[in-house]
Chain A
Amino acid sequence: MTALTRIWHFYRDGFRGMTLGKTLWTVILIKIIVLFGFLKLFFFPDLLGTRFDNDHDRGAFVLEHLVESAPGNRSRP
């Protein structure tokens, strides 16, 4: 038996032999699906990543935000 086969059997038998682990894996899978399939997809876009094509534009946007955010600075160039 090769090392890879032994490792495969180790994991396979380990997962098959789980008792409490099955409940825990169910919890983990539900959580991962909710996180990535629902929250990340619909509620948590990467704002700068999706709005701009390159780092130069992202930097320019944040710099503008830095300058404009100061009190009384709304009309600055």
Chain B
Amino acid sequence: MMEAFDPAAVNWARAQFALTAMYHWMFVPLTLGLSFLLAFFETYYYKTGNPEWKQITRFWMRLFAVNFAIGIATGLILEFQFGTNWSNYSWMVGDIFGAPLAIEVLFAFFIEATFFAVMFFGWDRVTPRFHLFSTWMVAIGSSLSAVWILVANAWMQRPVGMVFNPDLARFEMQDIGAVISSPVAVNHFLHATSTSFVLSSLFVLSVSSWYLLKGRHLRLAVRSILVAAVFGLLFSFLVILSGDQAAYQAARFQPMKLAAMEALYKGERGAGLVAAGLLNPDKKPGDDRPVFRQAIHFPYLLSLLANRRLDSFVPGIDDLVYGNAEENIVGVTEKMALGKEALDQLTRYRRARREGNEEAAAHLAAFKKVEDHLGFAYLARAEEAVPHVPTIFYGFHVMVALGFLFPLVFLLYLVLALKDRIFRHRWLLRFGLLLVPLGFLASQLGWVVTEMGRQPWAIHHILPVKVAQSNLAANTVQSTFFIFLVLLTLLFIAEVRIMFNQIRIGPEEK
């Protein structure tokens, strides 16, 4: 007998996963980006033989180690939650996620057990060339290790290369190449790594700004700024390009997410992009209330971003929920009927199989025709297909604003550092102290938009989050949520204290 479905348990399970994932993502971007900055610093040392570059490399390597040590294994907590809070989902996607996650663990272990050790212990034990090679391998390996989890996440947003096995209730991998090379996965990787590189560059600018304000370690600070500003500036452009591509892909594969990002309720041709706006909190799908209290639009830009054509039609939330015959858009209401048909055929197939009935094959064939809409069977109302618009709209616009601010900051730091005038601009250095929290805010908001924007789906259009969860009581999940909150907060305080302490100590004497 199935336990009664408890909607509160879904929310606690989601909150717990979000808490852990956001905490995990405090460390991952710094690991990805700092590892490449270390490789650049050490390459300068290798090329010039100047011991100052070695001192710079070793200093940032120490901060990298603090970040890595505190962040290590936080991802494991997510995997525990898969087995407990999301056991149904975990079972269903095990065949798809198993291979990428196993490769990630093996890869990470291989890299960490070998090149990490050489990077930290090998300064005077291996040749400079091999040490440099190891540092580069740590950087490349860390990024490659991130590929797999991003492939798994991209598959949830755009499921490809699999087939649903109705006997085992599992998605089975049919084409691993299609899963790995999915355009959404490739762009996911480019965007996540480039934003991580930008965040790490902001971290270096922040710490260096603090040294300049304090009048300490001036040469280390200026040299670090020069490298980080160039690195950050270059990857800021990749962030913008891959972000644009993500919006283009959302228009193709997740139009509801794009409509929520722009709070576009009524689709239009030549749609404008919101530069800034204050939402009307009373607005609901299908009503005639105004969407915004105040808003400024860039005319035609949303159509251009979504379809690469100024006069193209961009569907709004109402078009996607209720359908738009003029634009050939099938609404959620219609898809719910197809979903119910899929579920009905699945139920009949299951019963026929159990009874050894010959009709099983016919029910399976009927199910296969509409299986792509299975998830819609679980919606009670069409409006349930709409994610939480204010969170996604504001999250998206703050993230984009910061994404355009950062390259200007990198450029300013670079020019002033090159002209040796950065010391005079204390306002910039004070502002530089805010770059770490701003960078983390943008990075976290990126994931908020990505994950909240795909709601209510765990697997796009196939499995809603509320069906993906385990049959647990809300108070069970609630209690572990608070255990995690306390544990992760303590770990975070520990990291910040160790990190601040290391920054206060500064680089080793030559």
Mark A residues whose CB is within 8 Å of B: 10-11, 13-15, 17, 20-21, 23-25, 27-28, 31-32, 34-35, 39-40, 43-49, 55-56, 58-59, 62-71, 73-74, 76-77
Which of A39, A56, A68 meets B80, CB within 8 Å?
A39
Q: B84: CB under 8 A from chain A? A: yes
CB distance from B2 to the nearest CB of A (A): 5
Cβ–Cβ < 8 Å partners of B76 in chain A = 35
A74 to B3, CA, bound (A): 10
Chain B residues with Cβ under 8 A from A27's Cβ?
69-70, 491, 494, 498
- Chain A residues within an 8 Å CB radius of B498: 23-24, 27
What 0/1 pattern do residues 120 to 132 of B give for CB contact below 8 A with A?
1110010000000
Interchain CB contact under 8 A, A47 and B84: yes
B118 closest partner in A (C-beta): A10
Q: Do B2 and A68 touch (CB < 8 A)?
A: yes
Interface string of B64-86 (1 = CB under 8 A from A): 01100110110011001101100
In the complex, which of the residues A11, A56, A71 contacts B117, with contact meaning CB atoms closer than 8 Å? A11
Is B325 part of the binding interface, using a Cβ–Cβ cutoff of 8 Å? Answer: no
Residues of B within 8 A of A71 (CB): 378-380
In the complex, whether B350 has a CB less than 8 A from a CB of chain A is: yes
| Bound form: Cα–Cα A28–B71 in Å | 9
Q: A11-B121, A24-B65 are in contact. Are A67 and B347 (CB under 8 A)?
A: yes
Number of residues of chain B lying within 8 A (CB) of chain A? 52
Q: Are B83 and A69 in contact (CB under 8 A)?
A: no
Given A10-B122, A44-B84, 13 additional A-B pairs, CB 8 A: A10-B125, A13-B125, A14-B117, A14-B120, A14-B122, A17-B121, A58-B91, A59-B170, A65-B88, A67-B350, A69-B5, A70-B340, A77-B351
Of chain A, the residue at the smallest CB distance from B471 is A65
A-B contact pairs, 10 of them (CB 8 A): A14-B117, A14-B121, A27-B491, A28-B72, A35-B77, A48-B90, A59-B169, A59-B170, A66-B346, A69-B466
- B80 / chain A contacts, CB cutoff of 8 Å: 35, 39-40, 44
Which residues does chain A contribute within 8 Å of B166, judged by CB atoms?
A: 63
A-side contacts of B380, CB under 8 Å: 71
Residue among B70, B84, B170 making CB contact with A46, cutoff 8 Å: B84
Q: Which residues of A contact B81 (CB under 8 A)?
A: 44
Asked if B416 CB lies within 8 Å of chain A CBs, one says no
Q: Kindly state the separation between the CA atoms of A73 and B343 in the bound complex, as whole angstroms.
A: 10
Asked whether, in the complex, the Cβ of B378 is within 8 Å of the Cβ of A65, the reply is no
In this complex, the member of A35, A63, A67 whose beta carbon has the largest number of chain B beta carbons within 10 angstroms is A63
B333 interfacial by beta-carbon distance below 8 Å: no
Contact B471 A46 (CB under 8 A): no
In Å, the complex CA distance between A21 and B77 comes to 23
Given A64-B2, A73-B343: A47 and B470 interface contact (C-beta under 8 Å): yes
Q: A67 touching B77 by the CB < 8 A rule? A: no
Interface residue? B87 (CB, 8 A): yes
Taking the nearest CB of chain A, how far is it from the CB of B200, in angstroms? 19
Kindly state the separation between the CA atoms of A34 and B491 in the bound complex, as whole angstroms.
12
**Binary contact readout B474-510 vs A (1 if CB under 8 angstroms, 0 otherwise):** 0000001001000100010010001000100000000
- On whether the beta carbons of A20 and B2 are closer than 8 Å, the reply is no
A4 vs chain B, min Cβ distance (A) = 14
Query: What residues on A are CB-neighbors of B5 within 8 Å?
Result: 69
Known: A10-B122, A14-B117, A14-B121. A65 touches B467 (CB 8 A): yes
**CA gap between A68 and B311 in the complex, in Å:** 45
Provided the pairs A11-B121, A35-B76 are in contact, do residues A62 and B88 lie with their beta carbons within 8 angstroms? Answer: yes
Which partner residue on chain B sits nearest A69 by CB separation? Answer: B467
Closest A-B pairs by Cβ, 3 of them: A14-B121, A59-B168, A24-B69
